[in-house]
Amino acid sequence: MKQSFFAIALAAFSTTLAHTQSPERPDKSAEPGIPASSNVGAAAYPRIAPDSRVTFRLRAPNARDVKLEGGAGLVKTPLDLKPGEDGTWTVTTPPTVGGFHYYWFNVDGVRVNDPASYAWFGYGRETSGIEIPEAGSGFYEARLEVPHGTVRAQWYYSKITGQWRKANVYTPPGYDENRRTRYPVLYLQHGAGENERGWIEQGRAGFILDNLIAAKKARPMIVVVDTGYASYAGTIVGTNRSAATAAFDDVMLQEVIPMIDRTFRTRSGREHRAMAGLSMGSGQALNLTLRHLDKFAWIGAMSGPPRQGFDVATAYDGVFRDAQAFNRKVKLLWLGAGTAEERFHASTVTIHETLEKAGIKNVMFSSAGTDHEWQTWRRSLHDFAPRLFQE
Amino acid sequence: MKQSFFAIALAAFSTTLAHTQSPERPDKSAEPGIPASSNVGAAAYPRIAPDSRVTFRLRAPNARDVKLEGGAGLVKTPLDLKPGEDGTWTVTTPPTVGGFHYYWFNVDGVRVNDPASYAWFGYGRETSGIEIPEAGSGFYEARLEVPHGTVRAQWYYSKITGQWRKANVYTPPGYDENRRTRYPVLYLQHGAGENERGWIEQGRAGFILDNLIAAKKARPMIVVVDTGYASYAGTIVGTNRSAATAAFDDVMLQEVIPMIDRTFRTRSGREHRAMAGLSMGSGQALNLTLRHLDKFAWIGAMSGPPRQGFDVATAYDGVFRDAQAFNRKVKLLWLGAGTAEERFHASTVTIHETLEKAGIKNVMFSSAGTDHEWQTWRRSLHDFAPRLFQE
Quick count: other Cβ atoms within 10 Å of Cβ A159? 11
Inspect the interface and report whether the beta carbons of A6 and B372 lie closer than 8 Å: yes
The answer as to whether B4 is a domain residue is no
Give the pLDDT mean for A64-77.
Answer: 97
Inspect the interface and report whether the beta carbons of A152 and B152 lie closer than 8 Å: yes
Residue where a domain terminates, one of B103, B135, B167: B135
Counts of helices then strands in chain A (DSSP H, E)? 11, 19
pLDDT at A332: 98
Residue where a domain terminates, one of A135, A157, A183: A135
Q: What is the C-alpha separation between B281 and A344, in angstroms, rounded? A: 49
Alpha-carbon gap: A44 to the closest alpha carbon of chain B (Å): 9
Are A327 and A214 contained in the same domain?
A: yes
- In the stretch 46-65 of chain A, residues with CB closer than 8 A to chain B read 58-64
What would the pLDDT profile of A11-59 be if each residue is shown by its tens digit?
444 434 333 333 333 444 466 899 999 999 889 999 999 999 999 999 9
Q: How confident is the model at residue A307 (pLDDT cuts 50, 70, 90)?
A: confident
Are A205 and A341 contained in the same domain?
A: yes
User: Residues of A with CB below 8 A from B303's CB?
Assistant: 6
Give the pLDDT mean for B9-14.
Answer: 42
Q: What is the C-alpha separation between A335 and A322, in angstroms, rounded? A: 20
Inspect the interface and report whether the beta carbons of B6 and A112 lie closer than 8 Å: no
Q: Which residue among B14, B41, B62 places its CB closest to the CB of A108?
A: B62
Query: Is residue B2 predicted with pLDDT exceeding 90?
Result: no
The conformation of residue B331, written as its DSSP 8-state character, comes to: S
Inspect the interface and report whether the beta carbons of B154 and A155 lie closer than 8 Å: no
**Residue B288's domain spans which residues?**
139-387
Alpha-carbon gap: B42 to the closest alpha carbon of chain A (Å): 6
User: Residues of A with CB below 8 A from B371's CB?
Assistant: 5
Cα angle B347-B283-B278, degrees, rounded to a multiple of 5: 80
pLDDT at A46: 98
Cβ atoms of B44 and B20 closer than 8 Å: yes
CATH code of the domain in which A235 resides: 3.40.50.1820
Instruction: Supply the angle between the helices B374-384 and B205-214 in degrees, to the nearest 10.
Output: 30
The answer as to whether B323 is a domain residue is yes
Q: What is the C-alpha separation between A112 and A143, in angstroms, rounded? A: 34
Residues paired with B67 in a beta bridge: B80, B106
What would the pLDDT profile of B26-69 be if each residue is shown by its tens digit?
444 466 899 999 999 889 999 999 999 999 999 999 999 999 99
Q: What is the C-alpha separation between A361 and A331, in angstroms, rounded? A: 9
Are B115 and B73 contained in the same domain?
A: yes
β-strand B79-80 against B66-70: which pairing, if any? antiparallel
Cα angle B166-B221-B272, degrees, rounded to a multiple of 5: 100
The answer as to whether B235 is a domain residue is yes
φ, ψ for residue B82, nearest 5 deg? -110, 135
What would the pLDDT profile of B269-317 be if each residue is shown by its tens digit?
999 999 999 999 999 999 999 999 999 999 999 999 998 889 999 999 9
What would the pLDDT profile of A163-177 be if each residue is shown by its tens digit?
999 999 999 999 999
pLDDT at A22: 36
What would the pLDDT profile of B232-250 be if each residue is shown by its tens digit?
999 887 777 789 999 999 9
The answer as to whether B342 is a domain residue is yes
Are B322 and B348 contained in the same domain?
A: yes
Query: How many domains, chain A?
Result: 2
The answer as to whether A6 is a domain residue is no
Are B123 and B100 contained in the same domain?
A: yes
Interface check for B41 against chain A (CB to CB < 8 A): the answer is yes
Q: What is the C-alpha separation between A210 and A55, in angstroms, rounded? A: 32
User: Residues of B with CB below 8 A from A4's CB?
Assistant: 341, 343-344, 372
Q: Where does residue A143 rank: exposed (0-12), middle (13-18), buried (19+ CB within 10 A)?
A: middle
The answer as to whether B87 is a domain residue is yes
Q: Which DSSP helix (H) or strand (E) runs through B34?
A: strand B34-35
Mark residue B204 as left, alpha or beta (left: phi above 0; alpha: psi -120 to 50; beta: remaining).
left
Q: Which DSSP helix (H) or strand (E) runs through B112?
A: strand B110-112
Are A155 and A129 contained in the same domain?
A: no
3-state secondary structure of B15: helix
On average, the pLDDT of chain B sits at: 92
CATH code of the domain in which A91 resides: 2.60.40.10
User: Residues of A with CB below 8 A from B240's CB?
Assistant: 23-24
Nearest to A299 by CA among A192, A378, A380: A380
Are B156 and B272 contained in the same domain?
A: yes
Q: How confident is the model at residue A273 (pLDDT cuts 50, 70, 90)?
A: very high
The answer as to whether A86 is a domain residue is yes
pLDDT at B17: 39
Are B261 and B292 contained in the same domain?
A: yes
Q: What is the C-alpha separation between A196 and A187, in angstroms, rounded? A: 11
pLDDT at B31: 63
Are B30 and B42 contained in the same domain?
A: yes
On average, the pLDDT of chain A sits at: 92
- Nearest residue in chain A measured CA to CA from B264: A176
Whole-complex ipTM: 0.91
Q: What is the C-alpha separation between B120 and B191, in angstroms, rounded? A: 13
The conformation of residue B59, written as its DSSP 8-state character, comes to: E
Residue where a domain terminates, one of B135, B169, B204: B135
Are A337 and A258 contained in the same domain?
A: yes
Inspect the interface and report whether the beta carbons of B76 and A115 lie closer than 8 Å: no
Are A373 and A234 contained in the same domain?
A: yes
Are A65 and A91 contained in the same domain?
A: yes
